[in-house]
Structure 1
Amino acid sequence: MAEAYEAERVDDADDLAPPAPGVLQGADRALLALLCFTERRPEWGVSEMARRHGWDKAVAQRILTTLASRSFLICDSATRRYRLGPAVSRLARVGEHSGVLPSLVRPILAGLLRETGESVVLNVPQGAGYRCAAAVDGTGPIRYTAIIGAVMPGHAGASGHAIFAHYPEAEIRQLFGATPLQRFNDHTVTGLDALQDRYAEVRDQGYSVSHGEYDEAVAAVSAPVFQAGAVAASLTVIGPATRVSRAADRIIELVLSGAGEATAAFGS
């Protein structure tokens, strides 16, 4: 546990930098405390938060208590540990409905469209699938058209692989191991072990390429987009199999670059 904690401190060392001129220190500290809550570390104690930022313990206590008073945090009365509260969920819903993610990545999607001529999609995880959050259609009479809001199966295709490859193994088994995985054609990955092998390959490469796993006429290249150290979405170039497969090497480079820009836009 100590080694994991130290690794986390090193990874987020920029958080320890002093606030920029004109920034209210108290508000900055409260926001830094909120940003410490991640999927990997959903709970914090006062002493841990103080050590994380080099704060006095009394300062950390006041910050966490203030956040809890406005329902941004909840304190477990038994363990005295804090986790995110309902106010955060409310803001997340507002952000979802106000189109925050699409507005952040729209220039990136447009740039990839210009470079590749193919459709570009930002997908976000939803249960055992992924949902199209933003998209631009490719050029030409034969192209892939994405439908905003459409939910696709997570085990079939590059977009899902790029997302779920970064989930813990136990969660993967919970999401995909309860029922048999649907086979859409001979290219679909339907075995849980085979799916885990694919995910290991995606993590090693940093991207995913699929050839007709959901629709045999379609190929795609996808890379993960991260936020606060966890996968938040995948950025995908998708189109007719013959064109995308032929240009795969170049598209991979462009998608990786775009995913890096999207990760930066998401604040990571």
Structure 2
Amino acid sequence: MADAQTSAVKSADRVLAILDLVADRGPVRFTDVTAELGLPRSSAHGLLATLAARGYLELDEETRRYGLGLSAWRLSQAYSGHGDLERHARPLMEELAAESGETVQLARLEGIHNVYVAIAHSPRPMKLVSHVGSRLHAHATGVGKMLLAGLSPAEARRRLSAEELPRLTDRTVTDVDALMDVLEKVREDGYAEDREEYVEGCRCVAVPVHGPGGTAVAAMSVSMPAFRCDDEQARAHLKLLRATAGRLQRLTGG
């Protein structure tokens, strides 16, 4: 009985891993699934066939790539965990994007990743391009570090130590002890920065958005090309960002 339960749990975990992979990477080939997730070919074939039959994945017969299906979309629409937050945030973010001329993003924490739940794009031709639902490594982004700093130090260390942290640029901090020092400074300062740690040439500042209980339920950032953001400009964006986050908190009871 225990072996059957273990097998069922393993299969469930593999299904979720496949969905996460497609959500993060976009349409993938069968070989991408087996290589990225280390699945046996027979298991991967059966799981993909089941997900496609249930509508959670769609197979493009021409490219032989699996993308998310309508059932996955329907499931996502049923989630209402940040509905009010997003509804109140979006017009404020649009105002901030217009005033700052840069991209504004709102994110929540999922494990050691930050997931973007709302985005207002910069009106400028050269800008950061992202999309709602993107899931990025929190240790290398401004919003991610802001959200990790909202955890207790013990919980932040546990999450960061659970798996190897990728070095995304030469500036990425991957040592857990060094990251804990970074998070402590973020707590003291009340804001976080990404100085080309996730993508070379991209910089951002981020602040927390507190909920009714006083805890950080999300983080908001202004992101821009590094060439048009010196320290003085970053401080100006931070001032606007704090004002916008404050307005959002008042609307949502934070």
TM range (shorter): 0.5 to 0.7
Aligned partners of 1:163 and 1:231 also within 8 Å: yes
Please report the TM-score for the alignment, with normalisation by the length of structure 2: 0.66
Q: Could you say what secondary structure the match of 2:166 adopts?
A: coil
Regions of 4+ moved over 4 Å: none
2:128 maps to 144
How many angstroms apart in 1 are the aligned matches of 2:168 and 2:148? 19
Aligned partners of 1:212 and 1:219 also within 8 Å: yes
Q: Does 1:237 align with 2:209?
A: no
**Which amino acid in the other structure matches residue 168 of structure 1?**
S
1:256 maps to 242
Aligned partners of 2:157 and 2:180 also within 8 Å: no
Q: Deviations over 1:95-134 (max 9, x none)?
A: 238x332211012101211221000000111111110000
Aligned partners of 1:238 and 1:244 also within 8 Å: no
Aligned partners of 1:113 and 1:138 also within 8 Å: yes
Structure 1 regions of 5+ residues with no counterpart? 1-92
Aligned partners of 1:101 and 1:133 also within 8 Å: no
Q: Does 1:111 align with 2:111?
A: no
- 5 Å matches for 1:168-207? 168-207=152-191
How many angstroms apart in 2 are the aligned matches of 1:179 and 1:127? 11
How many angstroms apart in 2 are the aligned matches of 1:125 and 1:245? 28
**Which amino acid in the other structure matches residue 116 of structure 2?**
C
Distance apart, 1:176 and its partner CA: 0.6
Q: Does 1:156 align with 2:133?
A: no
User: Larger radius of gyration, structure 1 or 2?
Assistant: 1
Aligned partners of 2:98 and 2:123 also within 8 Å: no
1:209 maps to 193
- 5 Å matches for 1:1-268? 94-96=79-81, 99-227=83-211, 228-245=213-230, 247-268=233-254
Q: Could you say what secondary structure the match of 1:105 adopts?
A: helix
Please report the TM-score for the alignment, with normalisation by the length of structure 1: 0.62
Distance apart, 1:94 and its partner CA: 4.8
Equivalent residue pairs, number? 175
2:7 maps to none
The percentage of counterpart residues that share the same residue type is 31
| More deviation, 190-199/240-249 | 240-249
Aligned-residue Cα RMSD (Å) equals: 1.5
Structure 2 regions of 5+ residues with no counterpart? 1-77
How many angstroms apart in 2 are the aligned matches of 1:94 and 1:196? 32
